[in-house]
Amino acid sequence: MEIPEGELVTIGFDTHYALTNADDWQPSVIANVIAGDETPLDRYLMRRGQVFDEASAIDALNGYLITAATTHRRADASYAATAANRLAMLKQHTLVLQSLQRTLLEHFQNQT
């Protein structure tokens, strides 16, 4: 992937809802990548129902948050249904993260 000089991009990694195992994986995101930056552009997606650590759970929430912020309401009901299913299985260990998870879950449930 080539990023044009001076551009700032966010890269999201997610499964397409049409895949037979789309519900099995949480998304991931790398934010604020700049041309020439040495940020590795590779990710391992976390399986639904697994949590490696709090950072990986936050990363998955960020993936949903970026998608929620950048897609039009009811633009993709199929993705929203998959996202809601996966979000329901994401484990969070703090009240703040649980609150964000509930808000995102409500957002995607309202799109289906």
Distance CA 11, CA 69 (A): 14
Domain positions in the chain: 8-109
Q: What percentage of the chain has pLDDT greater than the value 70?
A: 81
CA angle at 62 for the pair 60 and 65, rounded to the nearest 5°: 115
Average pLDDT over residues 13-18: 73
Q: What is the mean pLDDT of residues 35-44?
A: 68
Taking the whole predicted model, whether its pTM rises above 0.85 is answered as no
pLDDT digits (tens, 9 = 90+) for 52-62: 778 888 888 88
Given pLDDT bands bounded at 50, 70 and 90, which one contains residue 43?
A: low
Beta-bridge partners for 11: 30
Total residues found in the chain within this entry: 112
Q: How far is CA 37 from the centre of its chain?
A: 22
The answer to whether residue 4 scores a pLDDT higher than 60 is: yes
Please give the Cα distance from 31 to 62 (Å, whole number): 9
Q: What angle do CA 42, 43, 44 make, to 5 degrees?
A: 140
3-state SS, residue 103:
helix
- Determine the average pLDDT of the residues in 45-66: 80
State the average pLDDT for the chain. Answer: 79
